[in-house]
A and B are shown apart, each in its own frame.
Chain A
């Protein structure tokens, strides 16, 4: 079994007259810069804000690193002292004993410094990492929803994970590079101090290494990146095969995929071998340079010892320093890459931290009290995500406390935007939205949340038990309240039939429940929240008639004694509403009861008579003439 060298290329144009093979496995997209400028003052100053609280720790660890490095530098010197003054050229045991005592002191200091340095630096870097992440996460709770709508969750997650991790790596290695720089300087100074001529001679190999290393670094980095990328391409294809296995088997694509995957695996293999070759090539170079340095010490230094120009201990100390010589150069050149990566990450982090928060509580905002009524009023509201293109134009309507109003209209008519405005997800550009008689901009957002319960079109459940999901943030609700709500929406039976009843864990966002069941749980969640106003976006997908019937019943329970504003798709829901507001292209074109609107013979009555299951389904061409009227 040997890795195959040939595989069918993914996109071959064979000349056998057959159409090209339209097949790939996996998808790969590199759209993020990995390396930035090595130094970006703006990024550094932003990150420094996070390091600020740990200023004391930073000072301590830098001091500890310095002490640690100095104690390491002292050891060859002590050995040299012991040899030259304690052993050779006349035995002097007291000097030997004192030197060893000094040695003992130095290693005790070394031990303490190493403990402090690694412990304090590590903890500090971890703390900063978690602080940055917390700050970003809490910021994301407040930024404008239009930012969240535009941004993929995966992209934000890579900020919260990959990017903060590279900042941590940067902080940790920055402190350690202080040690590397000191070590390098220390070795140079020590050698020159011991004997400047021999020192200069030995040090002459350093620039060679530096040049070789910098030259190598560029090519090696390209090879490592290529290997890394080949790996993620291969893994991406594997993940796709796992997630899509049912489609693959159903369409009998296994053989084609295996051929394509073999190509990816072969590429991956070759990229890794290349990276491995490049990584290993430095070893003989460093070893040869070390060999040259040692040979110089033996040849020239040895001659100097024989001549009596230096003592033998100096030669031994040189040999010791040479062993450590190249370590700081290696770490420092690596630090350069770490810094570049950190700057690119830091730049992305600050972008997230700088996203505007456009909806905030006014300084004199007052809480909306439970006693405030449940009315909702749109007073000449104009709003657009981009103010130049309003999606709602001068819309006015009122929902009295306890009333249910259905909002209908074709896709893009502004129904969902109206719903978002009631909860002040966005601020209007003209007019006002009033809840309980108060402008939503004059009340606190938290109290608005308690006053209004929302049910979204796509039921979203969190990982956790059924009970936790129904209670969600209504922490005041008892288990009995949760159960009562669940019974009221007719979900109690299926919940108790689950393996652990209310304590059953929901797999990946309720994947083990049907859509209808998830819908009912989201109703129960809204019911437990017990708000004065219910805003509901009805699901559009068809659910089996049995569940559908339950949902309709649950909806009635939910609306009982509450103000209801429903973005309705189902004809049954629409007809049950007290009033219907018809929107089109951001303009209110009709309002009234079902009978009134049918009698008016406007858009509503025509939509209604088209026999579509949902108003959203209606093709645009059929609503076209009304659009002309609306704009």
Chain B
């Protein structure tokens, strides 16, 4: 935990900054992102082609409807034989029916193929994001808020997914409708055409301005709501503190402050929307009124047929929606560019700890671990080396204890051995092979760590224990659980090994969590087994039983134990005392006590109460 505090770095590649949602994206990056998304869509040429052709045909069908309606009206006005009119009407009616059906089918094809391009893109990106997150090293995850990564993987991905259907295809559709429509109207009657289309620029501008404002305020609103939900969540989770300090009034004040800010912003968003939508409707109807007035005069004067006027009016109603939705399109572009920029920043993040080209698997023979003059500093804290000049060797069957004050680099050192981080200087070898020269996967199989804060997965106990070896047999799982002193507790549970634990399952005590974490690590049969302060919540008695149960297991591997409780290390072959990232004392327990240095002082400190107790006993 102290590592994250140290590693709070800054700089151009600081993931904290890259993934912050309110941080604006550089214009160039946004354009690049959009063009990259477009290229990715083209990986599905069939669906893209269908979507585009269907769009053109749907637009054509859409545009022919007003024309047909106008003709129908005119046909009723034609002076001549009723039979001819009836024939004309019948033809027009049937054509209109056919065109309507076709319009529906083409729209279906257009929307479905466009959405399927988006879903296919999302499918690929989901896998890519997942893979990337699993491979990015600890140094990346230390400096990134998990919440930010989740947002990138969920919301940003949605923003990219919507790009093809809501931005690109709609742009094509609107361009066709407006372009061809304007040509048709203006070529029929220039002035009336201009009047009919006069609402479009205004509506387009209002709609765009509105959507961009709404988007900006939406991002702020999300932040305000996040604050509000944090206030509520912390209050509920910490309800005992709240009650203990009788601070409900204080908490209500915090709630009201957060709530009122969010409410005020929601109101502002409503105002923005109301103002724009009402204005757009007014502009549309005003243009319609103008067309009615001027067109009506033309009809009255015999310069235009009623049918043509009807064409103008129905054309306006057809065009109204897409023009008003221009803002949504612009919003989709804006979203795709910022979301895409963040998503690609994640996907392009270099994986600093990775397999070297053609690296072979690690071959464990003797099982000897060697650290040679190892030094390491966290990113963003390069000036301060967390560990430095560390050298030691441990052979199969040996147990090495590591002790030191908080922040002395114990955990850091333990994280270098499975190559969670790469050393800055020196080397770590297993049986003479530098861990950087072999595959990462083989190193992780050879070095297993029981971590300080063990993350349990929300699944059954057996799945948790078998996490590193999903094809393990029941008997092996039970053996591991037995060694970790967990079996007796598990069999007392209603569903035994099938009981679900984790975030949404049965809640475990700190000691139970640690024992489960030990059990799952024991499944791995590693050459190097590390306990990183992972028995703090387990009582001394249980710990000593675990240790006894592991005697045979430990004979086959190197065991490294970081612990605060010195009694946990009494059986170690050697103990290293770390301070400020260096080994300052080392030797067996007895040697170190005899030395009378820091270790001995720590021992003295821990033994004091027990010493008193001895006196108290008769």
Contact = CB atoms under 8 A, between A and B. Distances in A.
Contacts of B77: 88, 305, 312
B146 A243 contact: yes
Interface in B57-85: 69, 72-73, 75-77, 82, 85
Contacts of A296: 93
Question: Which of B72, B234, B317 has the largest number of chain A CB atoms within 10 A?
Answer: B72
Contact of B5 (A312, A512, A570): A512
B463 A261 contact: no
Given A29-B504, A298-B89, A571 B289 contact: no
- A-B complex: 7 closest residue pairs judged by Cβ atoms: A449-B246, A291-B100, A287-B104, A284-B104, A617-B539, A473-B247, A251-B468
A157 B72 CA distance: 59
B19 to A, nearest CB: 12
A254 interface: yes
B612 A575 contact: yes
* Category for how many chain A residues contact B: 35 or more
Given A276-B116, A277-B112, A242 B150 contact: yes
Interface residues of B, number: 163
Contact of B540 (A111, A609, A613): A613
B366 interface: no
A460 B237 contact: yes
Contacts of A453: 244-245
B255 A137 contact: yes
Interface string A282-324: 0111111011101110110011011100001001100110010
A240 B73 contact: no
B293 interface: yes
Nearest to A93: B300
B457 to A, nearest CB: 6
B609 A571 contact: yes
Given A246-B420, A450-B246, 5 more contacts: A19-B472, A246-B451, A265-B127, A472-B241, A540-B537
Contact of A21 (B250, B470, B473): B470
Nearest to B463: A22
A244 interface: yes
Contacts of B267: 123, 126
Contacts of B553: none
A354 B444 CA distance: 53
Interface stretch (B272-280, B337-345, B392-400, B425-433): B272-280
A387 to B, nearest CB: 21
Interface string A252-283: 11111110011001101100110011001101
A245 B135 CA distance: 9
Contacts of A268: 123, 126
B1 A511 contact: yes
Nearest to B154: A235
Interface stretch (A100-108, A175-183, A400-408, A581-589): A100-108
A509 B266 contact: no
B406 A544 contact: yes
Contact of B457 (A137, A244, A299, A613): A244
A283 B115 CA distance: 15
Contact of B448 (A91, A251, A571): A251
| Overall SS of chain B's interface | helix
A243 B243 CA distance: 31
A241 B124 contact: no
A200 B240 CA distance: 68
Contacts of A617: 539-542
Contacts of A235: 150, 153-154
A141 interface: yes
A245 B142 CA distance: 11
A623 interface: no
A507 B271 CA distance: 35
A291 B97 contact: yes
B105 A284 contact: yes
Nearest to B275: A115
Given A27-B502, A284-B101, A287-B100, A3 B130 contact: no
Interface in A402-456: 423, 425, 445-446, 448-450, 452-454, 456
Nearest to A359: B243
B258 to A, nearest CB: 11
A611 B469 CA distance: 38
29 contacts: A19-B472, A20-B471, A27-B503, A83-B309, A87-B299, A114-B274, A126-B270, A130-B262, A148-B239, A157-B236, A235-B153, A247-B457, A250-B448, A254-B135, A256-B470, A258-B131, A280-B115, A299-B93, A315-B72, A425-B243, A449-B244, A462-B238, A472-B241, A475-B250, A509-B234, A512-B5, A514-B2, A545-B602, A617-B540
Contact of B150 (A239, A258, A513, A546): A239
A104 B289 contact: yes
A355 interface: no
A126 B263 CA distance: 7
Interface string B457-480: 111001100111011111000000
A218 interface: no
Contacts of B504: 27, 29
Nearest to A21: B470
Interface string B110-137: 0110011001101110110111011110
A432 B6 CA distance: 51
A448 B246 CA distance: 8
Given A110-B281, A299-B89, A316-B73, A545 B605 contact: yes
Contact of B406 (A96, A246, A512, A546): A546
A252 B240 contact: no
A86 B295 CA distance: 11
